[in-house]
A = this chain, B = another copy of it.
Amino acid sequence: MQLRIPGPTPCPDEVLKAIGRQMINHRGKEFGEMTNRIIPKLKQCFQTKNDVVILSTSGTGGLESAVVNTLSPGDKVLGISIGIFGDRFGECAKTYGAEVIPLKYEWGQTAKPDDVRKALKENPGVKAVLVTHNETSTGTTNPLKEIAKVVKEFDKLILVDAVSSLSSIDLPVDAWDLDVVVTGSQKGWMVPPGLAFVSISERGWKAHAEAKMPRFYFDFSRAKKFAADGQTPWTPTVSVFFGMDVALDMMLKEGLPNIFARHARVADKARAWVKSKGLQLLSVDERFASNTVTAVKAPDDMDVAKFTSTLRDEYKVVIAGGQGGMKGKVFRIGHLGFITDKDMDEIIAAMNGALPKAKK
């Protein structure tokens, strides 16, 4: 079976073997040594010298941690959204009492740095900007470098949802001066879900020291305190730690530039297929089409549910439909993490077979 949704993603055999290891003491030497191996490797992938904390939660829990650790109720934030995950980030901040000024775009669009500048000029009281790097629901990647540059012109905090980009698409956290960056284990990391990884800049820690939103399980201070001993404040998802230790070695052996190039190559194949079939990407400007997930507009005569079920049942390829309001109108091919050129050729062959059978 080729599991090609935008996460969970397939795991290499070496990772699965590690995942199935017997439990160990999470307060013992072996676990501490493992964590002390994992964190520096994570930092390499984040391209950062900032602290990186590991939370036992999903990507959404990671986003919640970014919000509650840096903001106070009543804080104004600019909530950039180009899709469902951008909406979610803002909704989470609103739930905890932030005043979210939305900067919302149609599906397939990306945020324009000039719009961000305008919004920050018009709203001088904004404390932080919430932005999705790669919007999984629309297969579109925001120009994060340019957006971050604008945010820094105004010396604001930037909180980044990099759940489906980090480790697959170049994202140099320090070079782009990003304050809080969140990703999840089940995306480009080639391990199962269960962990979120979050980098926190000095500016992020300063915000944390003043932030009044309530937090307990997701508290960064507790996480940092225990990380000093290679531990976590609460019992961690040990199995996924085992997997990460192995997967990170594989990733660093391949090398980040090679990983990014592989993702770009595989995504190019997907996009070339879309065009060859006369189909349309959901991304309005192909330059911003994602290298981790390709979202395709379903033509009027296409039955998306039939397409995905035929792919699954007849061709053993699992892709995703559209989320929320995009259900039935979009299909999405996940191509992140453990994927080769050959895998993409197989997926394309399967889609070639299933497409004619997916007429309404």
Complex Cα–Cα for A259 and B267 (A)? 52
Interface residues in A56-107 by Cβ distance below 8 A to B read 56-61, 64, 91-92, 95-97
Is B234 in contact with A58, judged by CB distance below 8 angstroms? Answer: yes
- CB of A257 within 8 Å of the partner chain: no
Contact A11 B22 (CB under 8 A): yes
CB pair B194–A237 under 8 Å, yes or no, is: yes
Q: Does A238 contact B (CB under 8 A)?
A: yes
Q: Does the CB pair B60–A234 fall under 8 Å?
A: yes
Tallying the copies of this chain within the complex gives: 2
Contact assessment for B23 and A20 in the assembled complex, using a CB-CB cutoff below 8 Å: no
Interface 9-residue window, one of A24-32, A34-42, A341-349:
A24-32
Q: Output the least CB separation between A44 and chain B (Å).
A: 24
From the candidates B24, B59, B312, name the one contacting A3 in the complex (CB within 8 A): B24
Residue A215 is within 8 A (CB to CB) of chain B in the complex:
yes
A217 interface hit (Cβ, 8 Å): yes
In chain A, positions 209-228 with a C-beta closer than 8 Å to chain B are 213-217
Q: Which of chain B's residues have a CB closer than 8 A to the CB of A7?
A: 235
Chain A 176-201 interface 0/1 with B at a Cβ cutoff of 8 Å (1 = within): 00000000101000001110000000
Q: Are B238 and A240 in contact (CB under 8 A)?
A: no
Q: Is A320 an interface residue, CB under 8 A from the partner?
A: yes
Closest to A8 in B: B23
Q: How far is the CA of A239 from the CA of B192 in the complex (A)?
A: 7
A96 and B214: CB pair below 8 A?
yes
Q: Could you tell me the distance between the alpha carbons of A102 and B7 in the complex, rounded to whole angstroms?
A: 44
Candidates B16, B59, B91; contact of A20 at CB < 8 Å: B16
- Chain B residues contacting A22 (CB-CB under 8 Å) are 1, 3, 10-11, 16
Which residues from B are CB-within-8-Å of A238? 8, 186, 192-194
- Please give, as numbers and ranges, the residues of chain B lying within 8 Å of A59 by CB-CB distance: 234-235
Smallest CB gap from A184: residue in B: B235
Let me know if A57 and B217 touch, CB within 8 A. yes
Over the window 305-343 of chain A, the binary record of Cβ atoms lying under 8 Å from chain B Cβ atoms (1 yes, 0 no) is 000000010000010100000000000000000000000
A215 to B95, CA, bound (A): 7
In the complex, are the beta carbons of B28 and A239 less than 8 A apart? no
Contacts A92-B216, A194-B239 given: A10-B23 contact, CB under 8 Å? Answer: yes
- Cβ-based interface call for A353 (8 A): no
Chain B: minimal CB distance from A296 (Å): 18
Kindly identify which residue among B9, B28, B216, B237 contacts A64, using a CB–CB cutoff of 8 Å.
B216
Within 8 A of B (CB), among A235-276: 235-240
| Minimal beta-carbon separation of A77 from chain B (angstroms) | 15
Interface status of A17 (Cβ within 8 A of chain B): yes
Known contacts A16-B21, A58-B236, A184-B235; 15 additional CB pairs below 8 A are A1-B22, A3-B24, A8-B25, A10-B23, A11-B23, A28-B318, A56-B56, A56-B61, A57-B57, A60-B233, A61-B217, A61-B234, A95-B214, A96-B214, A193-B238
Closest 10 CB pairs of A and B: A20-B20, A194-B237, A8-B23, A60-B234, A58-B234, A192-B239, A61-B217, A58-B235, A193-B235, A92-B216
